[in-house]
Structure 1
Amino acid sequence: MSETLARTTNAPATDRPTAESGTTLVQAMGRTYFPLAFVARLPFAMMVVGVLTIVVAGRDSLTLGGMTSGVVGVGGAAIGPLIGAWADRAGQRTVLLVTAAVNSLLLFALTAAVYAAVPDLVVLAIAFAIGATAPQVPPMSRSRLVGVIHTRLPASRRQVILNRTMSYESAADEIVFVIGPFVVGLLAAAFGPAAPMIAAAALTALAVGAFALHASARTTAGTGAGTTSDAAPSAAHQAPVQDLWRARVLVLVAGFVGIGLFFGATLTAMSAVTGDAGHSERAGLLYGFMGIGSVVSALAVSALPARFSLRARWLTAAVVQLVGAVVVATADSTGVLIAGLVIAGLGIGPSLVTIYSLGSHRSPIGRGTTLMTMLGSAIILGQSAASAGTGALADTVGTTAALAMPAVAAGVVLAAAAGNWRQADR
């Protein structure tokens, strides 16, 4: 992935970003930034699937597993934007260090609770707290990068580098969401269902802690201007919070809710498929095929011509995603199912890149981290709702019904893309 960013730059990197050396993105961020930010994303991708895996294995209930995984998402969706707003006001470093420490302890607590004689409600409560304290690495990374691009790079190159950077960030998210479930599947198969949770807790403490302490934590994004201090702009320089609730922003949130619905419905449906075969812990391996298509297409977005507008890209990608979802719903063999997942992924990648690019354009002054966190939380919210709903549907109606849910989610993404067509950005 760093090779993609290296193509945006042509100079050697330094470990500490400085205004003097900030003529290229890798120089400005430091050569350690991108690997570190990538690894720091991994714990959350592991914990969502890990929660589902450990609860299904430990409590023998796909419904409870889906609910618990969903509650993790509800916690993240409910509290995530507040964490983003906190970071906009107090700076990322403190926020990340606090959330990483608390989240690690809660992951250990949930692992113990699943196998203890405690009510399901206690498990659900801990799951909510895990989501609520999940370190918001992806939106904070984007906020840092947007701030650096708009303050340390030549104005003539900013838009090109921003597009490529958003492509990289979306691809990094997708790769992590492929690797996360895959690692969970491998660890659970090799060492038991508790192993992924323990590994996620350790990674949260170490990788997120290192990300918090990186020098780039002093750089945040406001609008296109960015700021460079441990704290973000003062309230006097922030746009009113009402600007985050305008239609041009909410349509982006709706699109990400739809993508989250797709993720949650697909993962839970794959759990039902593999559970029918007696290997529910292998759902992440099957789910990973969707990520393959998404990663490839997300990376390819940077090669698209400028005349292929952002709104047209999103609408086209949403149609491709829906086609893949229909293939998944009607699949009569594992091969066809995998093909449908790959096709759907080819639509998801460009949608993620495009929506984040639109978000960077539409971010109100001083609300960059908040908006990026809202978008990330929208995915989590959709994923949580779909995980719970699809799990219950699989238990009560059957796997065939569960496999139809990704198509419903893809319809939400397409509706949001159509709504975005009327907005100002082209």
Structure 2
Amino acid sequence: MTHVTVTPPARAHEPSLFRLAGLPYFLIAFIARLPFAMMVVGVLTVVVSARGSLALGGLTSAAVGLGTACFGPLLGAAADRFGQRAVLLVLAVGNAAMLLLFTAVVYGEAADGFVLLAAVGIGATAPQVAPLSRSRLVTLIVERMPEERRTRTVSGTMAYESAADETVFVFGPFLVGILASALAPWAPLVGAAVLTLVFVGAFALHPSGRQVSQDRDADGRAPSAVSELFRPRLLIVVLGILGVGLFFGAMLTSLTSFMADRGAPEQAGLLYGVMGVGSAALALGVAWLPARFTLRARWLVFSAILLAGTLLLWVVDSPAAMMIALAVMGIGIGPTLVTQYSFGAARSPRGRSATVMTMLGSGVVVGQSIGAAVAGELAESAGTEAALVLPMVAAAITFGAGVANWALSGVTHRRAPVKP
């Protein structure tokens, strides 16, 4: 009898995530994030222009964040239950309509309360493209890639997604400024409505939008209980990412106050970009870190660097010194955020990946809103030095959550595609 040895296919022929999803997916998912990045700044711009009140503008921006925070996880749960395609198609139409309705309300004679209510509606219907993209890609990795490649691929995916988010949140406000200056203050919101219809719709209709977790039962129900979303090992990640959101909101607002004291508030965005560029670059580099540098160690190390960077704010007395401090913070913030999303992917209860990712995304939004509001109030009432304390507090929360996570990460999750 002749024995034939079958040679396993070469690793080069194994499907990569890029091949599984396709180039159009990444282009569509990137542009589909833009409307969300334009909303908060666009709302602030149009309210200040139409109503002449900076205070109302700030409250309205916070109302958008409130709507996202309250409804984001519910939309994620709906995507898990009914599939992303149906939920996103409804949101694409609903959010575009709310953006146009808000514009009409602001320029109309409606009371300020209706303006705030319409802003909540914008946040409540905001398509959660970034969290749902993470969930979609993780599902592809876990269910269609060889097990030995999942850990590095998940890490690389979270790195790319975080870098894409940061790029969009830098470019989004820039696009708002261009449209508002070249056309009219209402133009960014109308533009966001068009982008939402076209690109969120395309994101929903992409073939990967049919992907439903194999953990779901035939009727769409998850095999895991809702209570698993409230386990300490997952909630500590939500707390940590809330700290990151607090840092983003507080740092940008206090930095604006710092530059306003020096007569150049318009340069705050340029300085902030120093941190953003470094953060995005280091976030992408996380995928190449050795496996022995575990996730829980990464959280501690990089959040400690972030904390050290914020402590430099005690002695910052010039834009040049602020730039150095921001550069140090950039080294820490990007990898920390990537690591937290990796933990979220690893600790998602079976069949609830989209829910977890939208919980984390909402944590960032809530943190940004609170951080910006509190830092703005401190800057106005107590001065810039008081406002600059808030980024330190946010970094301390992130680092403290990392310490708690170290203790909670002693046992590896039974389904985790990555090792803590």
TM-score category, normalised to shorter length:
0.7 to 0.9
Q: Which residue of 1 aligns with 2:311?
A: 326
Tell me the percent identity. Answer: 51
Q: How does 1:240-389 map to 2 (within 5 A)?
A: 240-273=225-258, 284-328=269-313, 330-389=315-374
Q: How does 1:75-154 map to 2 (within 5 A)?
A: 75-154=67-146
Q: Which amino acid aligns with 1:46?
A: M
| Aligned equivalents of 2:18, 2:53: Cα separation in 1 | 47
Tell me if structure 2 keeps the 8 A contact 1:184–1:284.
no
Tell me if structure 2 keeps the 8 A contact 1:66–1:268.
no
Aligned match for 1:401, one of 386, 399, 406: 386
Does the alignment pair 1:391 with 2:376?
yes
1:304 deviation in Å?
Answer: 0.9
Q: Which amino acid aligns with 2:89?
A: L
Q: CA separation of 1:402/1:201 partners in 2, compared to 1, >3 Å: closer, same or farther?
A: farther
Aligned match for 1:214, one of 192, 206, 220: 206
Does the alignment pair 1:33 with 2:18?
no
Does the alignment pair 1:412 with 2:404?
no
Aligned match for 1:199, one of 186, 191, 201: 191
The TM-score normalised by the length of structure 2 is 0.88
Q: Which residue of 2 aligns with 1:155?
A: 147
1:130 deviation in Å?
Answer: 0.9
Q: Which amino acid aligns with 1:293?
A: G
Tell me if structure 1 keeps the 8 A contact 2:82–2:220.
no
Tell me if structure 2 keeps the 8 A contact 1:178–1:287.
no
Q: Which residue of 1 aligns with 2:34?
A: 42
1:71 deviation in Å?
Answer: 1.6
Aligned-residue Cα RMSD (Å) equals 2.5
1:305 deviation in Å?
Answer: 1.0
1:86 deviation in Å?
Answer: 0.6
Give the secondary structure class of the aligned counterpart of 1:422.
helix
Does the alignment pair 1:186 with 2:178?
yes
1:333 deviation in Å?
Answer: 1.9
Q: Which moved more, 1:32-41 or 1:58-67?
A: 58-67
Q: Which residue of 2 aligns with 1:18?
A: none
| Aligned equivalents of 1:394, 1:232: Cα separation in 2 | 52
1:243-292 alpha-carbon deviations (Å, 9 max, x no partner)? 00000000000011111111221233344456667776775444333321
Structure 2 gap ranges (5+): 1-10, 413-419
Q: Which residue of 2 aligns with 1:3?
A: none
Give the secondary structure class of the aligned counterpart of 1:139.
helix
Q: Which amino acid aligns with 2:92?
A: A
Based on CA coordinates, which of the two structures has the bigger radius of gyration? Answer: 2
Q: How many residues align?
A: 401
Structure 1 gap ranges (5+): 1-8, 12-21
Q: CA separation of 1:185/1:279 partners in 2, compared to 1, >3 Å: closer, same or farther?
A: farther
Q: CA separation of 1:195/1:346 partners in 2, compared to 1, >3 Å: closer, same or farther?
A: farther
Q: Which moved more, 1:110-119 or 1:299-308?
A: 110-119
Q: Which residue of 1 aligns with 2:16?
A: 24
1:42 deviation in Å?
Answer: 1.3
1:172 deviation in Å?
Answer: 1.2
Q: CA separation of 1:257/1:158 partners in 2, compared to 1, >3 Å: closer, same or farther?
A: same
Give the secondary structure class of the aligned counterpart of 1:307.
coil
Q: Which residue of 1 aligns with 2:8?
A: none
| Aligned equivalents of 2:287, 2:71: Cα separation in 1 | 32
